[in-house]
Amino acid sequence: NAGVTQTPKFQVLKTGQSMTLQCAQDMNHNSMYWYRQDPGMGLRLIYYSASEGTTDKGEVPNGYNVSRLNKREFSLRLESAAPSQTSVYFCANRLAGVVDTQYFGPGTRLTVL
């Protein structure tokens, strides 16, 4: 039972390159989230998905797109990476109907040069 998994663990991009961060869960939870964490700023919500096939913007969605094709997987795409997107990205999930306790993946450390 892996919980929430993320790939890759580390990535270095050049400005303008694109990439997709993958997140998968085996907990059968409905809601999934993407956060970024920067020093001194805490976790900020990028996008979330309340259920399969639905997505909504969070606090900092600009420059990102997401896809929730099935209940297990929620991917985050950077179409044209910028240095300001250098951060640690966390995927999380939550069981619907329960107080908003979230379960996090191990994170992806992204550097954009």
Partner 1 sequence: SQKIEQNSEALNIQEGKTATLTCNYTNYSPAYLQWYRQDPGRGPVFLLLIRENEKEKRKERLKVTFDTTLKQSLFHITASQPADSATYLCATMDSSYKLIFGSGTRLLVRP
Interface positions with partner 1 (CB under 8 A): 4, 33, 40-43, 45, 48, 58, 90, 92, 99-107
Least CB distance from residue 105 to partner 1, whole Å?
A: 5
Nearer to partner 1, 17 or 22 (CB): 22
Q: How far is the CB of 80 from partner 1 (least distance, A)?
A: 26
Rounded to whole angstroms, what are the CA distances from 52 to 11, 28, 44, 95, 112? 27, 11, 22, 13, 30
Distance in Å, CB of 33 to partner 1, minimum: 8
Query: 17 or 58: whose CB is closer to partner 1?
Result: 58
